[in-house]
């Protein structure tokens, strides 16, 4: 029976492995994360993000990697979903839906994320949940 739970520090290896698997799936074969650095960001004295793990038979099968945001116009916190990933062998079990429902239950504000253009399966999945693209907005990124 699949279970969704908050990640704990002992999940860092699975978290980093799944992020690296997701990167490879998206065409980035070089991503390699520093496990200790990630542990500090997630479980250190001032966490910058948090993770929900989906498990099947006690094994990490998927994740939602998130941080809090705040909408000034809605005057309430929301969730930024930076990464949603389910390992290929565990797809079609409803884990992505469980992870997103858990996020929805954690805020009455917005839950937002990016999606690569042209991903028809994801577009259909998100529409089925009732999520929709944000018209009129373009995402910008400024790197150090």
**Contact of 95 with 86, CB cutoff 8 Å:** yes
* Amino acid 135: pLDDT: 87
pLDDT, one tens digit for every residue, the chain (144 residues) = 789 999 999 999 999 999 999 999 989 999 999 999 999 999 999 999 999 999 999 999 999 999 999 999 999 999 999 999 999 999 999 999 999 999 999 999 999 999 888 889 888 989 998 998 888 888 887 888
- Identify the structural domains of the chain with CATH numbers, from first to last: 3-114 (3.40.630.30)
Cα–Cα distance for residue pair 115/72, rounded to 1 Å: 23
* Amino acid 2: pLDDT: 83
Cβ neighbors of 127 (< 8 A, separation 6 or more) are none
Classify burial at 23, counting beta carbons within 10 Å of its beta carbon; exposed 0-12, middle 13-18, buried 19 or more.
Answer: middle
The structure tokens listed for 24 are 């490879």
Cβ neighbors of 13 (< 8 A, separation 6 or more) are 35
90: left (phi over 0), alpha (psi -120 to 50) or beta: alpha
């Amino acid at each position: 029976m699949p279970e969704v739970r908050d990640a704990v520090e002992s999940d860092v290896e699975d978290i980093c492995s799944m992020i690296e698997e997701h990167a490879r799936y998206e065409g980035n074969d070089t991503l390699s994360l520093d496990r200790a650095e990630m542990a500090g960001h997630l479980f250190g004295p001032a966490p910058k993000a948090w993770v929900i793990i989906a498990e099947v038979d006690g094994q990490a099968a998927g994740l939602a990697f998130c941080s809090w945001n705040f909408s000034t116009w809605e005057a309430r916190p929301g969730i930024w979903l930076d990464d949603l990933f389910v390992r290929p062998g565990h797809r079609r079990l409803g884990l992505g839906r469980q992870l997103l429902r858990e996020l929805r239950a954690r805020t009455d504000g917005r839950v937002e994320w990016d999606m690569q253009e042209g991903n028809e399966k994801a577009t259909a999945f998100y529409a089925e949940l009732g999520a929709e693209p944000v018209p009129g907005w373009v995402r910008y990124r400024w790197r150090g």
